[in-house]
Each structure stands twice: as C-alpha cells, then as structure tokens.
Amino acid sequence: MAEVNVARRKEKCENCTKQCNKRQAENGTNSHPSSREANEEAAEPPQLLLSACLSCEGCLTDEETLSISQQSLDDLHRALALNKKCDVSKHKVLVASVCPQSLPFFAVKFGLDISEAARKLCGFLKSLGVQYVFDTTLAAGFSILESQREFVQRYRRRSHDSHALPMFTSSCPGWIRYAERVLGSLVTPHICTARSPQQVMGCLIKDYFCKQQKLSPGQLYHFVVAPCFDKKLEAVREEFYNSVLESRDVDCVLTSGQVFGLMAQEKVSVEELDSIPLDHILGESADTELLRHEGCGSEGFLEHVFKHAAKELFGLDVHKITYKTLRNRDFQEVSLERDGETLLQFAAVYGFRNIQTLVHRMKKGRLPYQLVEVLSCPGGCLSGRGQAESDEGRVDKPLVQHMEEAYTSLPVHLPELNPTIHTLYQDWLQGQDSPQSNALLHTGYRPGNHAHPPPPHMQW
C-alpha cells in the first residue's frame, strides 16, 4: 500500500510540474523582472515557479483530497435531506455565511446591483431550506482590528524580537499553506496570528450564535460561500476542529461558482426568486446597508493597518494612500514619510510569481517592509478560481473587471466605527484583550504542517 501511495504522489508531482510549466508559458507576459534584480535572477538556474493555486490536484495529499471531496454540494444536500426526515433528533439548523468578495460575482451574473443580488441570493438559499444567511464583513472587521493591534505590538518589540517584523497577513489560505509547507521557519514566525474572516465567522456562528439560539454546535450546519477553493482546505485545519464537541467551525465551503451551478441545476430564474434581506448576527430585522472595507477586491488589510499604525505610532492622520507599482500591478508598495524620513513601508504582493520575488528578497536580507499583504491569487480575492475562472481554465478578465466595479460601488466603513463589533467584544469576548478574545480570534502557524517536501527537480 505504501508503494502505491508513493507512486500516486510521484504521479501528482509530475502532473503538477507539467501544469505549472504550462501556466508559466501561458502567463509569461504578466510579470517581468526589472533593472539589476532582473539580471541577478536571470543568472540563476531556471526554476519552476508556482503561479497557480496551491490547491490544484497535483499538490493535494490523499487525506486532503478526501476532505475536499466531502465539501461539496452533495454534503449540503445531505444536510438538507436530513431536515426532511421524521427523525427530528437529526435535524440541523442550516446557516450560510457569504464572503463579500462573492457577492459581486452574483451581481454580475444576475445583472443586478450588488445589494439586490445579495437579497436574491439570500432568497435562493432560504428556498432550499437554509434558515439564516449572513455576510462575513462583520467577521472581517474583527480580523482587521486584531491585525492592527498585533502589528503595533510587533513594531514596538522589533528591537529585541527578530521575528517581530516584517509581519505577513494571514487571511489567504493558499499563502498560509505555501508558507507552512515550503518556506517553513523563515516565514511562519512572521505571520499575523489573527484568524481569517472565514474562521472568525466560524467561531462567531458555532460559539456566540449557537449560545444565543440555545443550540449545541453539533446541531448547526455552517457553510461558507467563498470565491476561492483554498478556503476548503482552511476549513479542515485541525486548529478549527473541536474534538470534544466533534464540530468544525465551518462544516463546508462552497465556491461562488458551485452555488451558481446549483441554481442552474434547480432551474431557478433570478426573476422568480424572493428578495430577502441578509440576516444580522444580533437579530435585527431591518434591511441593513451592505458595506465593504478598504482595498480593491480584498479586505484591505494593508490600508487599515497602515492608517492605524500611522496614527497609533506616529500621531499622523493618513486619509489617502498612494500606491507605487513595482514589478506589476500585483506588486505595489506604500510609504509613510515625515521630514524626509521613511517611517513605514508596506507592500501588497499578489500571485505566486510575486511571492517568489518577495521570498528571494527576504533570503537576501533585502526586504524593507514592516508589513506585507500577501494573497495567492493574482488580482486579489475577486479573482479567486472558484468564481473568476473561465471554462478554458483561465481568468475571465471581463468578468473580474465587472466584479471590481460592483465591489467598489459599496460604501466603505471602518470596523472601528461598527457598533456591532464593539457590542460583541464585550458581550461575546469579555473585552478586546481578554483570554477569550485571544483564544477565539487568533491561531498559530507552524513550519512543516503536514509537510511533504517538493521533489528535487522542482523549485517552489
């Protein structure tokens, strides 16, 4: 059996090499090194760079393949079917959490503005038998605030803690998986410990919401609608499983494309769907306005932390951030200067080609940034393979452009000003810096997590 598994993994790695080489050839014009750095990199041996999503089949272990296969529409149908049977003891309350980056996909597909598309999506999910539908903007607010607080703490201890800076964001599971499996201790101590919006939402639902509804976590089925396949792998991390209660914070992740495909299977037209407002975690029934955080297509961790750090550390109010494009539009930096002195320098690095450059500079000791917002998908979360990939396996650029327009139409709201977050910090977490807050809003990352080293012919 061991020989079979080795052969299977070898076959997967060879397939991964072929696929990555193919994608490199197709996307070779997207990114060009420049100046002296380009000459340095050109002198090195040819490398296979990972430009595709890390959760492609070539990279998955057998255990992960099984976990992913269980997170499917079939799993949702099983939960819905149980509720139709007479054995009430097996009935579950179904809760859906929709990522804000998924809503623009439905807006474009439905031909509606983003707020009405959210109501139509809610109407569809509830017609299936889902009792509650939330969006995860609130959870993202917690993640942003905790990231802001952690950065300030790291900055203040930078002189005696070599791992304090730079800090890398932790919201992207593809990046986290790559950092743990491949980069190891070079990077993992630098990763922000704040949980991603998805996993904060999982805690919020399985802990706070369950208590409010007088349910045990096992009586509730929580699934997330996300733009990215990697979110499925994040949901099955052992850190997010309660072995005592035998419950995961997120039971299933479905991509936007999978949910849209389900609508096609059910032969549902948008016109016939009821327009139902999304639910609110505190139970308000009013149709609250959809909001977004800063940043184009993602949650804007860089912008939020940058402005907070400028005020908290240097007493400077930053109202507008100006990005400087370096290698390409997916590698940009921002700086805070005063009297000719650079106080802060952050970077936004999207896509594995640019991540390779980031790691190369870090190994050479030439990384000037205190914080880097890292996302595995070029273009950010809106370009996730779960919603932006065409039938030919490439990014649907017109679709992404329309999604960006829809997303930026939403008003920006600072999480610091969200009264619901302040209420939950007190009622749910007993304060911002409490043991409860640290336990439920943070996690850890370790080198070699379920590690399988890359084959010798492959440079990740």
Do 260 and 408 have their domain in common? no
Do 80 and 121 have their domain in common? yes
What is the CB-side half-sphere exposure of residue 298 using CA atoms within 13 A?
Answer: 28
How confident is the model at residue 454, as a pLDDT?
A: 39
The string of pLDDT tens digits covering residues 129-152 is: 999 999 999 999 999 999 999 999
In the numeric block, the tokens 């009297």 are attached to 339
Q: Is 326 exposed, middle or buried (0-12, 13-18, 19+ CB in 10 A)?
A: middle
| Assigned domain for 343 exists | yes
How far apart are alpha carbons 110 and 317 in whole angstroms?
40
How confident is the model at residue 60, as a pLDDT?
A: 58
| Assigned domain for 29 exists | no
The string of pLDDT tens digits covering residues 243-290 is: 777 789 999 999 999 999 999 999 999 999 999 999 999 886 555 778
What is the CB-side half-sphere exposure of residue 238 using CA atoms within 13 A?
Answer: 5
How confident is the model at residue 301, as a pLDDT?
A: 94
How far apart are alpha carbons 356 and 47 in whole angstroms?
10
Q: How many domains does the chain have?
A: 2
pLDDT higher than threshold 90 for residue 430: yes
Q: Measured on CA atoms in the order 337, 343, 348, 349, is the torsion positive or negative?
A: positive
pLDDT higher than threshold 90 for residue 202: yes
Residue % of the chain over a pLDDT of 70: 80
The string of pLDDT tens digits covering residues 11-46 is: 544 454 455 445 544 544 343 333 334 333 333 333
| Assigned domain for 386 exists | yes
Average model confidence (pLDDT) for the chain? Answer: 83
| Assigned domain for 456 exists | no
Do 401 and 357 have their domain in common? yes
What is the CB-side half-sphere exposure of residue 206 using CA atoms within 13 A?
Answer: 23
The model's pTM is: 0.85
Residue 170 banded pLDDT, cuts 50, 70, 90: very high
| Assigned domain for 34 exists | no
CATH number of domain containing 179: 3.40.950.10
Which token pair is 411? 């008003």
pLDDT higher than threshold 70 for residue 359: yes
CB 321 within 8 A of CB 349: no
H or E element: which one contains 222? strand 220-226
Do 368 and 398 have their domain in common? yes
Do 259 and 331 have their domain in common? no
The whole domain housing 436 covers 63-139+196-292+423-441
Do 116 and 156 have their domain in common? no
| Assigned domain for 454 exists | no
Give the residue-averaged pLDDT of 99-116.
96
Do 334 and 373 have their domain in common? yes
Do 216 and 302 have their domain in common? no
| Assigned domain for 394 exists | yes
pLDDT higher than threshold 70 for residue 458: no
Residue 181 banded pLDDT, cuts 50, 70, 90: confident
pLDDT higher than threshold 50 for residue 47: no
- How does DSSP classify residue 191? B
| Assigned domain for 12 exists | no
Q: Could you give the angle at the alpha carbon of 210 between the alpha carbons of 222 and 433, nearest 5°?
A: 100
Do 234 and 302 have their domain in common? no
113 CA to centre of own chain:
24
Residue 393 banded pLDDT, cuts 50, 70, 90: confident
CATH number of domain containing 248: 3.40.50.1780
Do 102 and 239 have their domain in common? yes
Do 121 and 226 have their domain in common? yes
Domain end position, chosen among 376, 399, 415: 415
- How does DSSP classify residue 188? G
How confident is the model at residue 434, as a pLDDT?
A: 94
Residue % of the chain over a pLDDT of 90: 61
pLDDT higher than threshold 90 for residue 302: yes
pLDDT higher than threshold 50 for residue 296: yes
Residue 88 banded pLDDT, cuts 50, 70, 90: confident
Give the residue-averaged pLDDT of 303-315.
96
Do 128 and 246 have their domain in common? yes
